[in-house]
Structure 1
Amino acid sequence: MSTASADSGGRGTKTSKVSKDHKKPTAAALKGAIQLGIGYAVGNLSSKPDRDVLMQDFSVVESVFLPSEGSNLTPAHHYPDFRLKTYAPLAFRYFRELFGIKPDDYLYSICKEPLIELSNPGASSSWFYLTSDDEFIIKTVQHKEAEFLQKLLPGYYMNLNQNPRTLLPKFYGLYCIQCGGVTIRVVVMNNVLPRAMKMHYKYDLKGSSYKRRASRKEHSKSSPTFKDLDFQEMHEGLYLDPETYSAMMKTLQRDCRVLESFKIMDYSLLLGIHMLDKKSLGRGNRCDSKKGQKVLYSTALESIQGNVKDPDPVADDDTLGGIPAKHKDENLLIFLGIIDILQSYRFIKKVEHSWKALVHDGDTVSVHRPGFYADRFLKFMGTTVFKKMHPLRGTSSKRKRNSLHTAKSASQEVLSPQKEKEKEKKEHKKAQSMDNLDGNFHSSSKHPDILLESALALESTQNDEEDPENSEARRASSSTIALDDPLAPLTRSQSDSELDVYL
């Protein structure tokens, strides 16, 4: 077949060696060739036995020619003749198995119905296709990006083994289609923003400020993708509950360190925001064919919850796996993932950063060395984009009371004997004055803390009968309370609340 070279967008251009008889394939023919090629590659792989992935499996490239009239190995089809190259087929089969994708489900998603073409808001000229069931994104990549991904696979394999819950892209296959003098390379990935949920806002965030504003052309779209400066103008930050915020930032930090170790920079956080108060506007695109989530750990909520071992599929839930958040008084669901990780800090990127730094502040441009880029990215996400909700007042007050009583008891332990004697004298005088006022306090006037201790002892005796194992701890707590505040109220309800705080 005639040779072809890929252009900067990975789409491919004709070379001088291409025959005049070759016509440039249409977009529909290319989509059909992609579906047919992936279907053939996965079906052919089923005949190979399961085994452990070896180091040499990552560098394997299988090639097959699929003529339109068919052959002994390939089926007939009504697309132009094309050649299919499959990169690291056994390694990608392992990745699909790791995420619970069965071969039949993978083929059904990609090959059943025509692919849906999506617009590209980024600076690259890649094409994006979405499967009809909303599960997979097929993206065209440049020749350098495909090479870099293949070199990345061993480290990617080790990282996924250790941590399948990640916001990094999940790659399920890498293929090359040569058709009619055009060469395109495509990678199959997880879909970060489900089409079934209306995204009222979409952002591509890098943590930089140089030229990080959506263009006028992007603003004119029905569903524009905004950038960093737009986010700071339109949102004051998205508030998450403390546990979710902690899980989010831990996941982002772990992922950024992985990317830094691979010398990767210029990646983005793709963020989609669905406003629950406007739910009625966002159900028009729901896919009737969506019967459940095929891919494990693919939703935003699953990707950050590392403490959940085997979550139930949440794709049929109204949230579709979105992360609950708040902005002012609005309830939101957010969907997110790290994208564009196939940009390494090669020589050309170093030159680009140096050139931009001459005309602008070097620390604000998007192209930067991986370590600095990761730190700036995390700082922007943890302080500007995501913020932690303040805990409820009741919870914080209990903690403060607990810490105050602990501080009191600790300080009383280090009081000098002389100060203790002076304190006892003051208490004795106060008790005598109380005896003169009311004879009912005579029995306890010399020891004002006896009554509190007796009340707490009665409470602890009743509790000891129910749970004898905790009796010693309760006695210790009651004595601490008596020392902390000798003049504490003696009502039963208040003493119970004090015990709840300490025990």
Structure 2
Amino acid sequence: MEMSAAGGGQGTAGRCQNSRTVKRRRWGGLRQQWKLLGLFEIDQHHEFYGLTCMMKEGLATAIQKSTDNTLTKPGPDFTMETFAGPVFASLRSSLGMSEQEYQQSLCSEHCYLQFISNSKSKADFFLTNDKHERINARYDIKGCEVSRWTDPAPEGSQIIVVLKDLNFEGQYITLDQQRPWLLRQVEIDTQFLRRLNVLDYSLLLAHQPLHQDERHQSLSFASSVNPGSTELSDFRVQNRRLLPNLKNPLHVIDGPEQRYFIGIIDIFTVYGFKKRLEHLWKRLRHPGRTFSTVSPQTYCLRLCQWVQDHTK
């Protein structure tokens, strides 16, 4: 009896072990697919697992005090600072998101996802497991064609891909009455960057469909035009800053059917000696084609022209 029982126990253990091995292999295969596509779960075996656990702890504390600018210490070697807490709390409220829902999304027991950007910086981004999926397209626009195509994610895929100029061809940013403001603001911003001898910045563009009750609202924004200017002083549109009470470059603009998130990012590349050499090399390598490394004046005019040609 003892031998029989021992044998039966070993058989059960063996089957359980085989089952776990199969599950691990399947999970490992899934993780590998995600990794190849740039998105995978930060589980216990991930190098950032400890960091994200501390982030959840810090975020849970910070959210409870979201109306204050607070400094929390989730761990001995990790500090998290909450910037503009009241502003973000107000923004979430305006979007109909309760603090409980926000905390549940950021601090749930589900692991974060890591999104490896396809930008040159190779920066990593952490996403909550629910991904806030309503934004349905994201673009990084430079106004040129060389290396400005990204393979879209397969249809129905949950993978997040940042698309580029050539992916946007044949499409338009449809703003109607907001179009003059956008054209003018892009001109002001790019002229400012030109004076700083800066290039290689991008127009960040994302959009999502409007809900029926979000259409035809009358919202105003604090214009980024010089305070003394009267050119657009009476221009009231469905346009506001992403952080309404602070000066910042990101705007939310509602067109007839879509909500657009627009801003200029990556503004720290100066047109120095290295970039001038790169410009000469690319002229030889890509004759007759447009590429990102050009003089700040050309870069400025070209991005303005792109916005002119792709808005209506």
Partner of residue 251, structure 1? 185
Matched, 1:335 2:272: no
Q: How far apart, CA to CA, are the structure 2 residues paired with 1:262 and 1:33?
A: 39
| Distance change >3 Å, CA 362–CA 351, structure 1 → 2 | farther
Q: How far apart, CA to CA, are the structure 2 residues paired with 1:314 and 1:76?
A: 28
Q: 3-state DSSP class of the match of 2:107?
A: coil
| Distance change >3 Å, CA 372–CA 75, structure 1 → 2 | closer
What is the CA-CA distance between 1:245 and the residue it aligns to? 0.9
What is the CA-CA distance between 1:30 and the residue it aligns to? 2.4
Q: How far apart, CA to CA, are the structure 1 residues paired with 2:58 and 2:207?
A: 35
What is the CA-CA distance between 1:366 and the residue it aligns to? 0.9
Given that 2:203 and 2:264 are in contact with CA atoms closer than 8 Å, whether structure 1 keeps it comes out as yes
Matched, 1:29 2:50: yes
| Distance change >3 Å, CA 33–CA 360, structure 1 → 2 | same
Q: How far apart, CA to CA, are the structure 1 residues paired with 2:240 and 2:277?
A: 48
Q: 3-state DSSP class of the match of 1:100?
A: helix
Partner of residue 352, structure 1? 278
Q: 3-state DSSP class of the match of 1:386?
A: coil
| Distance change >3 Å, CA 321–CA 265, structure 1 → 2 | closer
Q: After the TM superposition, which residues 461-480 of structure 1 pair with which residues of structure 2 at under 5 Å, given as runs?
A: none
What is the CA-CA distance between 1:382 and the residue it aligns to? 1.1
| Distance change >3 Å, CA 275–CA 264, structure 1 → 2 | same
Partner of residue 126, structure 1? 123
Partner of residue 207, structure 1? 143
User: For 1:271-325, what per-residue CA distance to the aligned partner results, in whole angstroms no more than 9, with x for missing partners?
Assistant: 223356xx79xxxxxxxxxxxxxxxxxxx9847787569x99999xxxx954214
Aligned length: 227
Matched, 1:386 2:295: no
| Distance change >3 Å, CA 301–CA 249, structure 1 → 2 | farther
Matched, 1:324 2:260: no
Q: How far apart, CA to CA, are the structure 2 residues paired with 1:32 and 1:346?
A: 42
For 1:323, the aligned partner's letter is D
In terms of fraction of residues, the more helix-rich structure is 1
Q: Which runs of 5+ in 2 are unaligned?
A: 1-44, 93-98, 213-218, 225-232, 244-250
For 1:238, the aligned partner's letter is I
| Distance change >3 Å, CA 370–CA 133, structure 1 → 2 | farther
Q: How far apart, CA to CA, are the structure 2 residues paired with 1:202 and 1:312?
A: 19
Residue 226 of structure 1 is aligned with which of 154, 158, 163?
163
User: For 1:97-143, what per-residue CA distance to the aligned partner results, in whole angstroms no more than 9, with x for missing partners?
Assistant: 8x83579x9x9969961655445242331011347899xxxxxxxxx
Given that 1:247 and 1:304 are in contact with CA atoms closer than 8 Å, whether structure 2 keeps it comes out as no
Residue 82 of structure 1 is aligned with which of 77, 90, 93?
77
Q: 3-state DSSP class of the match of 1:356?
A: helix
Partner of residue 197, structure 1? 134
Partner of residue 100, structure 1? 87
Q: 3-state DSSP class of the match of 1:211?
A: coil
What is the CA-CA distance between 1:208 and the residue it aligns to? 0.6
Given that 2:116 and 2:123 are in contact with CA atoms closer than 8 Å, whether structure 1 keeps it comes out as no
RMSD: 4.9
What is the CA-CA distance between 1:244 and the residue it aligns to? 0.8
| Distance change >3 Å, CA 304–CA 225, structure 1 → 2 | farther
User: For 1:407-457, what per-residue CA distance to the aligned partner results, in whole angstroms no more than 9, with x for missing partners?
Assistant: xxxxxxxxxxxxxxxxxxxxxxxxxxxxxxxxxxxxxxxxxxxxxxxxxxx
What is the CA-CA distance between 1:255 and the residue it aligns to? 1.8
What is the CA-CA distance between 1:344 and the residue it aligns to? 3.2
| Distance change >3 Å, CA 25–CA 360, structure 1 → 2 | same
What is the CA-CA distance between 1:380 and the residue it aligns to? 0.9
Q: Which runs of 5+ in 1 are unaligned?
A: 1-23, 49-73, 135-194, 281-299, 326-330, 388-503
| Distance change >3 Å, CA 31–CA 255, structure 1 → 2 | farther
Identical-pair percentage: 23
Q: 3-state DSSP class of the match of 1:349?
A: helix
Q: How far apart, CA to CA, are the structure 1 residues paired with 2:208 and 2:70?
A: 43
What is the CA-CA distance between 1:239 and the residue it aligns to? 3.6
Q: After the TM superposition, which residues 46-445 of structure 1 pair with which residues of structure 2 at under 5 Å, given as runs?
A: 77=75, 82=77, 96=84, 100-101=87-88, 113=107, 117-130=114-127, 195=132, 197-199=134-136, 201-215=137-151, 218-220=152-154, 222=157, 224-232=161-169, 234-235=170-171, 237-241=172-176, 243-275=177-209, 302=221, 322-325=253-256, 331-361=257-287, 364-383=290-309, 385-387=310-312
Q: How far apart, CA to CA, are the structure 2 residues paired with 1:313 and 1:265?
A: 24
Q: 3-state DSSP class of the match of 2:199?
A: coil
Q: After the TM superposition, which residues 440-459 of structure 1 pair with which residues of structure 2 at under 5 Å, given as runs?
A: none
What is the CA-CA distance between 1:204 and the residue it aligns to? 2.1
Compute the TM-score of the two structures, normalised by the length of structure 1: 0.36
Q: After the TM superposition, which residues 6-25 of structure 1 pair with which residues of structure 2 at under 5 Å, given as runs?
A: none
> Relative contact order, CA 8 A, sep 6+: which one is greater?
2
What is the CA-CA distance between 1:37 and the residue it aligns to? 7.2
| Distance change >3 Å, CA 303–CA 129, structure 1 → 2 | farther
For 2:47, the aligned partner's letter is T
Q: 3-state DSSP class of the match of 1:335?
A: strand
| Distance change >3 Å, CA 369–CA 332, structure 1 → 2 | same
Given that 1:33 and 1:82 are in contact with CA atoms closer than 8 Å, whether structure 2 keeps it comes out as no
Q: How far apart, CA to CA, are the structure 1 residues paired with 2:293 and 2:307?
A: 17
For 1:240, the aligned partner's letter is L
| Distance change >3 Å, CA 41–CA 212, structure 1 → 2 | same
Given that 1:245 and 1:386 are in contact with CA atoms closer than 8 Å, whether structure 2 keeps it comes out as yes
| Distance change >3 Å, CA 308–CA 263, structure 1 → 2 | same
Q: How far apart, CA to CA, are the structure 2 residues paired with 1:203 and 1:358?
A: 28
What is the CA-CA distance between 1:209 and the residue it aligns to? 1.4
Q: How far apart, CA to CA, are the structure 2 residues paired with 1:258 and 1:128?
A: 29
